[in-house]
Amino acid sequence: MSPTPGTPPRPLTIATCSLAGCFGCHMSFLDIDEALADLIDHIAFDRSPLTDLKHVHPDGVDIGLIEGGLCNHENVEVLREFRARCKVLVAVGACAMYGGVPALRNGIPVAELMAEAYLNPAAQGKLGGPLHDAQLPQDPELPPLLRAVLPVHEVVHVDLTLPGCPPPAEAFRQLILAQLAQRDLVLPLHLRHFD
Ligand code: SF4
């Protein structure tokens, strides 16, 4: 890929993170496939499953791609740090934008959900038979659940969104090209999925 006028001289730094998501949005990003080879001289990954870095560099990155909504207090902490270290935060996919599938639990009180998952013999039967000494998880290291699964924008400012479940790979590519050329992202209709 030849340098585009206006392209920054240093690589565009990108971080990615998954909260209450299924990693399907990350997989779609990787579906850019061979076109990623054309971009690779112009981008550098910071925090992401590809690098296995757990925190964004304190100096920050140009773009942060966040997948998933927020289902527990740890998600909130992770998101706040991620937001603080990303110049442009992109909410990627239906879970980050609206809560998505995990938010289906939002109409049910947390105590009821926990009892159904861990104490209800019928539910345990579906998982392969009743458990002995069934009890609720007590480990203090487990982050408490939020009352409801929240979309990212309810906790931090979001600069851009990529809709879809997941967004198409080409939408990720267009996002990167727009950022490299320092222009607004304009996605054609066929790349704006809401399913
Ligand atoms: S939007 Fe869809 S693909 Fe992305 S994390 Fe949520 S469920 Fe998975």
Asked if the structure places residue 5 within a domain, the reply is no
Pick the range with the lowest mean pLDDT from 40-49, 58-67, 185-194.
Answer: 185-194
Whether 22 is in the pocket of ligand 1, judged by its Cβ within 6 Å, is yes
Q: What distance in angstroms lies between residue 65's CA and the mean position of ligand 1's atoms?
A: 13
Name the pTM for this structure. Answer: 0.89
Asked if the structure places residue 124 within a domain, the reply is no
CA distances from 48 to 14, 29, 64, 74, 117 (A): 8, 12, 10, 17, 31
Whether 151 is in the pocket of ligand 1, judged by its Cβ within 6 Å, is no
- Tokens 């299924």 -> residue: 22
Q: What distance in angstroms lies between residue 132's CA and the mean position of ligand 1's atoms?
A: 34
**pLDDT reported for residue 130:** 66
Q: Which atom of ligand 1 is nearest to the CA of 97?
A: 1
As a whole number of angstroms, the distance between CA 119 and CA 112 comes to 10
CATH number at residue 42: 3.40.50.700
Task: For 63-99, write each residue's pLDDT tens digit.
Answer: 999 999 999 999 999 999 999 999 999 999 999 999 9
As a whole number of angstroms, the distance between CA 12 and CA 179 comes to 8
Q: What distance in angstroms lies between residue 50's CA and the mean position of ligand 1's atoms?
A: 18
116 residue type, one letter: E
Domain interval for residue 183: 12-106+147-191
Task: For 23-36, write each residue's pLDDT tens digit.
Answer: 999 999 999 988 88
**pLDDT reported for residue 126:** 64
